[in-house]
Amino acid sequence: MASVAGDVEVAAREPQERAPEAPVETSHGCVTIAREKRSFPCANCAVIRRDGDAAQQFEELYMSKLLAKLRESNKTPQAAAAELQNALNKLHALQQEFVAKQAKQNLLDRLAQVETLEALQKAVTSRRAQAEAGYEQEKRELQGAVQERQDALRLLERLADEVEQEKRNVIEHEGTQEAHESELAQLNEVWKEIQKRNAHRKAAVQVATGVMITDEEDCSRVLDQQTQSIQEMHQKQKLLEVGLLTRRRRGVF
């Protein structure tokens, strides 16, 4: 068991011992050793890339060590697998420790790049301005959404008021329907009575004048003519009466 663990620990240390040149840091903080062709993710990428290249290397190492152990010893496959799994756990711990140290070093290197307090203040001011701009944008969007919601609520309230008014109108109409029907029946009776009177007047005018009346206009025209004739007769009668009185006064009769 000790030999397998030792082999795995040696394999874990090999990237550090055979990499004299400095690791190359990528734009997002990951560390790459060019000659070893191995990558160590930054603290932000460790969880994402752990199932990538590192997982494949661990699997290959696991299988090779397991096969070699089975050939060299008489242990059962379960015992050899357990022993190798412990060694792999140690390898994982060593790699995580290395990644954590490298992340700290990256942070220190970046902080060292800020040469003066003025540069740091400018960086902080820039970040703050960006944050405030983002906040203002989100605030405007939120205010717009709130305004749209308020407009929609006002529209719904207006529609609800109109519906309630229509309901009241319908209820009021139903309440006065009987009164309107009674009034309409009375008006119909009055109309029928007027029609009867017009018919009687029409017949009387036809009998009196001997003129055939076909419609209401003919009746009105005949009545106007009769009225005018009667007025003319009354005028002539008055003139005759005046003439008789004048003659009597003069002693003609």
Q: Please tell me the predicted confidence (pLDDT) of residue 21.
A: 41
Residue 215 — φ and ψ, nearest 5°? -145, -175
Q: Please tell me the predicted confidence (pLDDT) of residue 6.
A: 44
Contact 110, 43 (CB under 8 A): no
In 36-82, the DSSP E strands lie at 38-40
Bridge partner list, 40:
31
Please state, in angstroms and rounded to a whole number, the distance separating the CA atoms of residues 146 and 203. 79
Q: Please tell me the predicted confidence (pLDDT) of residue 157.
A: 92
Amino acid, res. 106: N
Please state, in angstroms and rounded to a whole number, the distance separating the CA atoms of residues 101 and 109. 12
Q: Please tell me the predicted confidence (pLDDT) of residue 83.
A: 74
Amino acid, res. 137: Q
Amino acid, res. 54: A
Determine the longest span between alpha carbons in the chain, in angstroms. 182
Q: Please tell me the predicted confidence (pLDDT) of residue 251.
A: 64
Contact 28, 37 (CB under 8 A): no
pLDDT by residue, tens only, the chain of 253 residues: 444 444 444 444 444 444 344 444 444 444 444 444 445 455 445 544 554 566 677 667 766 776 676 677 666 667 767 777 777 788 788 888 888 888 888 877 777 765 666 777 787 788 888 889 989 999 899 999 999 999 999 999 999 999 999 988 888 887 787 887 888 888 888 888 887 887 777 777 677 666 666 666 666 777 777 778 778 888 888 888 777 777 777 765 4
Q: Please tell me the predicted confidence (pLDDT) of residue 75.
A: 67
Q: Please tell me the predicted confidence (pLDDT) of residue 154.
A: 92
